[in-house]
Structure 1
């Protein structure tokens, strides 16, 4: 049973010049595949999605594909052929053939500099063990993202809300969190509105209501957050979007960073201040997320 699978997508978009080759092909994940002239490598000029796989099934597949297409449109990339991307995701999962937790990451770049065809690939792998993060939780620091909460409306060219390969800042804030003795980060806008984590969505509980920062903030449309809300509604909880301040978050009964592969990691400290963890609630949430088959 392979631990890693790589498929090169030779026909990632119907809008780009075609090829007579098959839509995709499996290749050796340990062999070089990407040219040094690819704009994904030299400029971070591309998009990606990471899908959780549970028991051989892709989770939130349609939501991820919609977000993939939206990110492409925001970057003026050729529209991805979602039928081909769906098929290659399912083929990658079948090739990986792992009974437990896994993930598939799909990537589309603008292609070779001065070329006319995007580059695409899908990488499947067995997931890391996130038991510690899911049970003990993560300590977070709040860091200024450097722009206002309405940047999506005022400055759409900054691509707030697109899932791009330009991850230098997200990696940098992770190192800053480590320097401060924390595990992760919650971004706050320059005018004091809670946004998201570098690779996650913020969800918090207040009484019998589960909430997440409001829409139109230049943050990702969270796939896992949407599923968490589905689960919460099944438990009889209300769900809502809210313009969230740091004080509102600190006053919550519990809070989580939720993402496709790590699932729900409870926040156990904010800026060095201990924060309550609801272990039973978290365990039930993660059990449901891990068992999802759509």
Structure 2
């Protein structure tokens, strides 16, 4: 059976959002998103036809644009393209939609934008059995967002070479994913996910003023936890707390919440009941 065909909409101030052939070329080789990774993106989970955390994703898209001094994206136009792409795609239980805006062709001042919808991978095993992770030094202090804002920590940019290199290093270490720690010894985030620890009846995640991308899925997990009577906390977390935590998760759009069953080669127990409840909430949320 052939996989469902992806759906593409081009987004521009002149043309609005226009459906296009995803197999045809659309981006210039001179586009700064191609030549320098100079642009922003968001990946939005779609469950049973519902774009999850759509407004927080759009808000973060605009925030990333401001951090990069890009033109303000027309969120109404992007919202229209996202909903149109979902409507046009084959009806599947789980999709993802990617929104992209680059600085465009150098010298024009005209950004390039598009929205792309495609079938999501099957993450059932990761969600239920967990994944193996390793800690890697990001090489920056935890307060880099305050000391060096030009490094763009906390913006969701197309410059993903370091993140992909970290995941390749994880594979070399017989692991599936990474938890970055700061050079001064604090927990940060994953290459594509936020970190959540359980300490008793409290869920804890690193504070976002440490150059961490504010997580839409992490925020939804905290909403779930609070509804269940659990405490939630944003904190500066020493890396040693990863060892003493009762449970660990990496959470992100599309993959949702995946428990960590091994960290730096050491086996960890996973909170099966809480993980199952988290996943059910995330897949069923209507926001």
- Please state which band the TM-score falls in when normalised by the shorter chain: over 0.9
Q: Which position in structure 1 is the counterpart of 2:139? A: 146
TM-score (norm 1): 0.95
After TM superposition, list the pairs within 5 Å mapping 1:148-187 onto structure 2.
148-187=141-180
Aligned residues: 285
Q: Which position in structure 1 is the counterpart of 2:245? A: 252
* Aligned counterpart in structure 2 of residue 242 of structure 1, from 215, 229, 235: 235
* Aligned counterpart in structure 1 of residue 7 of structure 2, from 5, 8, 12: 5
2: CA distance, partners of 1:183 / 1:99 = 26
CA contact (8 A) 2:260 2:270 kept: yes
CA contact (8 A) 1:54 1:290 kept: yes
Q: Which position in structure 1 is the counterpart of 2:259? A: 266
* Aligned counterpart in structure 2 of residue 57 of structure 1, from 50, 59, 62: 50
1: CA distance, partners of 2:203 / 2:277 = 14
CA contact (8 A) 1:98 1:126 kept: no
2: CA distance, partners of 1:166 / 1:132 = 29
CA contact (8 A) 2:195 2:205 kept: yes
Q: Which position in structure 1 is the counterpart of 2:272? A: 279
- What's the RMSD between the two structures over aligned residues? 1.0
> What is the CA distance between 1:2 and its match in structure 2?
4.5
CA contact (8 A) 1:8 1:121 kept: yes
2: CA distance, partners of 1:132 / 1:118 = 39
**What SS does structure 2 have at the residue aligned with 1:233?**
helix
**What SS does structure 2 have at the residue aligned with 1:216?**
helix
2: CA distance, partners of 1:30 / 1:86 = 23
Q: Are residues 1:222 and 2:215 paired?
A: yes
Structure 1 unmatched ranges of 5 or more: 12-18
**What SS does structure 1 have at the residue aligned with 2:59?**
helix
CA contact (8 A) 2:194 2:252 kept: yes
Q: Which position in structure 2 is the counterpart of 1:36? A: 29
Q: Which position in structure 2 is the counterpart of 1:134? A: 127
Q: Which position in structure 2 is the counterpart of 1:75? A: 68
Q: Which position in structure 2 is the counterpart of 1:210? A: 203
1: CA distance, partners of 2:260 / 2:128 = 10
CA contact (8 A) 1:263 1:289 kept: yes
2: CA distance, partners of 1:105 / 1:185 = 22
CA contact (8 A) 1:56 1:97 kept: no
CA contact (8 A) 1:143 1:187 kept: yes
